[in-house]
Structures are given as structure tokens and as C-alpha cells.
């Protein structure tokens, strides 16, 4: 590996964390390298920088493309593919959230749905199914919220984030103003 010190720390860290994030070491390192590089890099430059095999780079770039985490660039009169990451960290965040949902949540949701459609054939099964229903309801709630929030433009999203828990003050204020009915605060359940 042949990198300046700060870059190297960053790249090595992404490599180590890779497994916790559901990608592997090489994929993590390549992503980190592209992220901190000003100009797009081609496969051989990555081989050079990280000291890994050409084929590993090829596979890993393919994986990063499957995650939609890299962009393809071309130079005039050069057949090689060059890769970068998007500039906007908010965009990266959105992609990451989307892909992780797709891989880590959606399959479970669909398994749960399938199980919930079946008839349990013992009291134990019935109990278990009820627990699964609770889990399903919670995940549905979260993904619905996520689907909503991801539509927001970055400005509003940042605003919301900045507000933090302060949002409840706003909710309280709203309840006071709107007053009647629409929703009981603090009831915890009920809706949908």
C-alpha cells in the first residue's frame, strides 16, 4: 500500500469497518480511496495505491456499482473506466440508506408478511405469530416514515435534523393551537 499517511489511516479504517458494514475489506478500502481522491481513478491506479490484485479490484468495483456508491467517468481518447464517488455527502447518505433498506429490511418484511398469512396450528404458533405481527407493524411504521422523509429536499431534511427532539415542543404547540381531537398526544399506540 502506497498512500500518504492521513489517506492511509482513512483507507485502512474503512477496510476494517467493512465487515461490520456488510461489505468486505477491499470494497471498503476502494470506496474510501475514491472518496478522498480529487480526480477519478482507474482500476490500475487502485491496484497501485492499495497493493491488491487486479481481479480483486475489478470484482470490488462491480460490487460498489451494485451498491450505487460510485460514478463512472471517461476521459477523451481513453477507453479506461474511471471511478469517483458523488460529491454530495447527503446524496451518499440517501444511497446508503436505500441500499441497506433493500438488503437488510425488505427481505425480512416479505418473510414476515408471508408467515402472517398462514394459519398457526398450535397455541405456541399463535403466540409466535402475534410476536411476529408486532415486529412487522413496527418495521412497517419505520419504513413508511423513511419513505416519507426521503422525499424531502436536503434543506428541509437538514432543518429537521437540526431541530432534533425540539420537534416535540412544536408538536405540543400545534396540539395547543389546533386543540380539538385530531390525535391524542402520548397515547403510544393507535393509528393506521
Partner DNA sequence: TATGGATTTCAGAATTTTCTGAAACTTCAG
Partner DNA sequence: CTGAAGTTTCAGAAAATTCTGAAATCCATA
Question: Which of 54, 62, 80, 174 contacts a copy of itself by CB under 8 A?
Answer: 174
Could you tell me the CA-to-CA distances from 94 to 107, 115, 190 in Å, in that order?
19, 30, 30
Q: Which does 60 bind (CB under 5 to 8 A by kind): a copy of itself, DNA, none?
A: DNA
Q: Which does 26 bind (CB under 5 to 8 A by kind): DNA, a copy of itself, none?
A: DNA
110-137 core/surface letters (b: 16 or more CB in 10 A; e: else):
eebeeeeeeeeeeeeeeeebeeeeeebe
**Interface ranges with DNA (CB under 7 A):** 19, 24-27, 42-44, 52-56, 58-62, 78-81
Does residue 53 interact with a copy of itself by CB under 8 A?
Answer: no
Shortest separation between residue 19's beta carbon and DNA, angstroms: 5
Q: Which does 179 bind (CB under 5 to 8 A by kind): DNA, a copy of itself, none?
A: none
- Here's the x/- map for a copy of itself, 126-155, by CB under 8 A: it reads as -xxx-xx-xx-xx--xx-xx-xxx-xxxxx
Question: Which of 78, 118, 176, 180 contacts a copy of itself by CB under 8 A?
Answer: 118
CB 30 within 8 A of CB 57: yes
Question: Which of 6, 78, 79, 179 contacts a copy of itself by CB under 8 A?
Answer: 6
Does residue 107 interact with a copy of itself by CB under 8 A?
Answer: yes
- Rounded Cα distance, 192 and 187, in Å: 14
The secondary structure of 131-191 as a DSSP string is HHHHHHHHHHHHHHHHHHHTTS-HHHHHHHHHHGGGHHHHHHHHHHHH-SSS--TT--S--
Amino acid at each position: 500500500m502506497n498512500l500518504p499517511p492521513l489517506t492511509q489511516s482513512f483507507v485502512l479504517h474503512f477496510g476494517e469497518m467493512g465487515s461490520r458494514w456488510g461489505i468486505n475489506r477491499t470494497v471498503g478500502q476502494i470506496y474510501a480511496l475514491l472518496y478522498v481522491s480529487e480526480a477519478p481513478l482507474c482500476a490500475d491506479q487502485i491496484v497501485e495505491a492499495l497493493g491488491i490484485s487486479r481481479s480483486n479490484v475489478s470484482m470490488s468495483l462491480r460490487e460498489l456499482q451494485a451498491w450505487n456508491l460510485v460514478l463512472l467517468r471517461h476521459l477523451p481518447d481513453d477507453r479506461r473506466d474511471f471511478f469517483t464517488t458523488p460529491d454530495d455527502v447527503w446524496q451518499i447518505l440517501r444511497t446508503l440508506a436505500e441500499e441497506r433498506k433493500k438488503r437488510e429490511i425488505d427481505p425480512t418484511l416479505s418473510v414476515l408478511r408471508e408467515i402472517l398469512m398462514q394459519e398457526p396450528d398450535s397455541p405456541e404458533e399463535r403466540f409466535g405469530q402475534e410476536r411476529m405481527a408486532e415486529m412487522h407493524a413496527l418495521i412497517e411504521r419505520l419504513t413508511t416514515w423513511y419513505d416519507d422523509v426521503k422525499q424531502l429536499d436536503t434543506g428541509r431534511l437538514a432543518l429537521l435534523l437540526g431541530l432534533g427532539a425540539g420537534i416535540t415542543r412544536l408538536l405540543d404547540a400545534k396540539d395547543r393551537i389546533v386543540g380539538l381531537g385530531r390525535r391524542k398526544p402520548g397515547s403510544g399506540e393507535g393509528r393506521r
